[in-house]
Structure 1
Amino acid sequence: MEAQSSHRWTLPTCKARAYLRRLNRSSDEEYRYIPLTPESPTARDAFVTIPTVRISSETLIYVGLSEARAAELWSRWTNWPDSGPSRETDADDEGLQVEFIDFITGTLSNRVNTAEDDDNQWRACLNAYGIAVDVQDAILDPHFKYLRLSESCLFWAKDTIEMRYAGLEDIQRASRKREMELYRAASRPGGDDSEYAADRHQGRLPLGRGLSMPTGQGQRSVSGLQQQNTSGIEAESWGSVSGIAARNAPGHVVLFKGIDQGRITGLFDEAGALDIGTLLSSAPSDFSGTRSLFYFTLDYEVAEYYAAFAKRRAECESVVIVCLRIPNTALESLSAPEIQRIYWPSSEWKELVWRCRTNEPIPLRLRKYRQAVLTIGSISRKPNYTYRTIRSFEEVTERSLLEVRRSGRNVPAIQYVFSGQEEGREFLVEHGVRDLKVFPFPQSELEAWLASDRWTLFIRFLVRDNKVTGLSALGRWST
């Protein structure tokens, strides 16, 4: 029940307990430590509460809002004014309709914002947005402070909500798919439909039996079978032997991108064909103020950092690292103006990034970067919010760089940025798609990452800049 003609309506409680190994395409591997028998002593830890209706007050809480803010927004949604645009749940009048996710994030836009290195200011902003305390703690986790300060508080609040919402949609899609698979299996000649019929009769989780209960002892759950049949999503995680091996490929440049899985839905279709457009990053960004581009990092540690921060802020969402290998010969076939390089500390890098992030007009001398198929350059680490406070690109400093540790030195991280236009898409499809892999980054990878020294590579940059507020509690930041 997601569509109503009336402007004022309510829904009953719309949540249920879901089995963790049935959530999405990666859950069977992510939660493999959970036994398949619900009678196990650990069974109470094997379930999570999931909204069963996408547009509901329960979803508002699931995406990270406090109960008080969720109640406030749900009242506004269910008491929608007759004037102005309609909701996506209203009858289609061919006019503008407000999507539920846009309604949620839109309520944040007119509130305060900060990008300062002051956790108290961040906490005040997150409280103003109505973000739940546990989600605030995840956003403000000091392990990720260096990355967090690359964007504003408003950005991370929106990003967390959008990630969780996309993850919920992914869970519901996966459940419907498994429901059909179970129904088809039970409907075949000789198929046993007793379990399916019993589940439906007992009303186990409206999302479908594929989420509600595990299979028999020793069997692989349906989510595992679904992942096995999903092209491009690897069965092994990022830290596996195959994941580590994929980071190096002789004769190729290996590129990476850490992202939540829900927001790359559609990357592969049922037949395994790839839609590269799913990986586009929207503007404004480092090298474009108006156009969407394909951004990948040359440094897998950067992709790991983004993936770990996403996993820290997630509820049940799967996070992945995209791994793309491009032959050196393909890159060598590009020559100016098709390929451009722009690095810190050149004045061109400072000006291009400043103009793109503030959406200022691009002068003729810099338009070669907009027309290139591929631009290779340094990665910026300051939010649009901060760039707008800078009067001139000449004020851009080294603190605007995203850096990694190499052989005892701090060096700028490098990004490969492909045009979102036809030429860039064609290059990626021709030279990168056949070697594209997507590795799950499960909770166990986050725990291993936190237990290692990998996060200290980034914390040291804050120490260098004398930005150590809130880091002493980590205990190891100064090592």
Structure 2
Amino acid sequence: MIPEVLISRETLTHVGLSEAKATELWGEWSNWPTSGIRRETDADDGGLEMTFIDFIISRVTAVNDITDESDLQWRACLNACGIDVQLQDTIMDTHFKYLRLSESCLYWVKDTIKMRYAELEAHIRGSSRQPSVSGRQQNTPGTGSPESWASTSASAASRDIPPGHTVLFRATNQAHIAGLFDEPSDFSGFHGRFYFTPDYQVAEYHAYWAKKRIGQLGTVAIVRLCIPNTARESLSAPDIQKIFWPSPEWKELVWRSRTQRQLPSRLEKYEEAVLVVGTTSRKPHSFYRAIKSWDEVTEKCVLRAGTSVQGHPSVQYVFSGGKKGRDFLVKNGAQNIRVFPYSFIPKALSFMKRGRGFKL
């Protein structure tokens, strides 16, 4: 049953908490102290406010995180968070182990809860429809491996591509389509960026994983951005930079960005560029904080396309979140951006297994 009230006990179980954890948190929320930080439902006194989603996340993730490959330790962490067994099984699905291990346990717990909460909030407020998405998707993810399923959005995304364009993709849940601005990551430790991949296989893998976790109510979409080749080729250094594994610069840039260390002057060009094209990194932030130097970054830190280490290194297009980057995207991408609701159909050979991409 879909909750009718956003701030409710029912919402706690909807976002994936066990009955026991939901009872515990709802009891704490309902018996909030009369002094100090107020709840978002309390009268505004001009002081600090605790939103319901921040309350959930803060209480659920107040446990030791897990970053290694032990399934037993991941289960223990999920249990400590109070995650429902059904959602635990979804997160621990062996078909997504490669992607799951690219981040920590608490990262996926927060990501999943936030997705479910955002979709429920949009549903309750009647604002979940996006003009660029026709109709809501209500199908439930299939069982089995990603290789045994294909997405209807794959064929849709391959149509009406203007010639002479670089085609980029990213997966997102529908409630966050308007917020394609990412937190600091691979190539920038302090400023948000726009991250896209030219490989549909990578976007589909992330979309499938998100749909499995978000549940029936949520809608996952793949955003397709077409940038004119002439616009991309008009960029020259320092506005465009390229950096790939296994160059020492890639290792150092990723390590410094992930640990939010100051960049030396020779690497500042990546921070200042309108567009950086480079290899996508893998592993949680805590992994990079635990190593002493960038020269400890290994091939295991490279995200590969597909579902295992056998895939080719994934490449990303990272646009600056500053004025120049935003202006470039508005001028050269706004007219050719499409959003495709992600859905899947049984098929012997899926789009992912064939590993097709759109390279014009």
| TM-score normalised over the length of structure 1 | 0.67
Following superposition of structure 1 onto structure 2, how do residues 154-193 of structure 1 map, counting pairs within 5 Å? 154-174=106-126
Q: How does 1:10-409 map to 2 (within 5 A)?
A: 49-174=1-126, 230-234=130-134, 239=152, 243-246=156-159, 249-264=162-177, 267=178, 278-283=179-184, 285-315=185-215, 316-404=217-305
Larger RCO of the pair (alpha carbons < 8 Å, separation 6+): 2
- Percent of residue pairs identical: 53
Q: Which amino acid aligns with 1:314?
A: I
The alignment partner of 1:91 has SS state of coil
Stretches of structure 1 that go unaligned for 5 or more consecutive residues are: 1-48, 178-225, 268-277, 459-479
Q: Determine the C-alpha separation between the residues in 2 that align with 1:247 and 1:153.
A: 39
- The amino acid across from 1:302 in the alignment is V
Report the Cα offset of residue 112 of structure 1: 1.4
Q: Pick closer, same or farther for the CA change 1:118–1:249 going to 2, 3 Å.
A: farther
How many residue pairs end up in the alignment? 338
State the partner residue of 1:420. 321
In the superposition, the TM-score normalised over structure 2's length comes to: 0.89
RMSD: 2.2
- Residues 159-201 of structure 1: CA distance to partner in whole angstroms, max 9, x if unpaired? 0000000010121122xx6xxxxxxxxxxxxxxxxxxxxxxxx
Asked if the contact 1:115/1:386 (under 8 Å) is kept, the reply is: yes
- Distance (whole Å) between structure 2 residues aligned to residue 89 and residue 412 of structure 1: 47
> After superposition, what is the alpha-carbon deviation per residue over 1:125-168, rounded to whole angstroms, capped at 9, x for unaligned?
00000000000011111111111111000000000000000010
Shift of 1:234: 4.6
**How has the CA–CA distance of structure 1 residues 361 and 374 changed in structure 2, closer, same or farther, with 3 Å as cutoff?**
same
User: Residues of 2 paired with 1:250 and 1:385: CA distance?
Assistant: 42
CA drift of 1:404 comes to: 2.4
2:47, 2:113 → 1: CA distance? 26
Partners of 1:421 and 1:363 lie apart in 2 by 20
Q: Which runs of 5+ in 2 are unaligned?
A: 138-150, 356-360
Q: 3-state DSSP class of the match of 1:55? A: coil
1:448 deviation in Å? 3.7
Secondary structure of the equivalent of 1:280?
Answer: coil
Q: Deviations over 1:47-93 (max 9, x none)?
A: xx111110000000000000000000011111111232111000011
Aligned partners of 1:108 and 1:129 also within 8 Å: yes
State the structure with more CA Rg. Answer: 1
Query: Distance between the aligned counterparts of 1:81 and 1:350, measured in 2?
Result: 48
Cα distance in 1 for partners of 2:77, 2:133 equals: 37
Q: Deviations over 1:243-277 (max 9, x none)?
A: 1424954300000011111122xx3xxxxxxxxxx
Query: In the TM superposition, what is the alpha-carbon distance from 1:290 to its structure 2 partner?
Result: 1.4
Q: 1:286 to 1:448 in 2, by over 3 A?
A: farther
Q: Distance in 2 between matches of 1:280 and 1:350?
A: 24
CA contact (8 A) 1:57 1:70 kept: yes
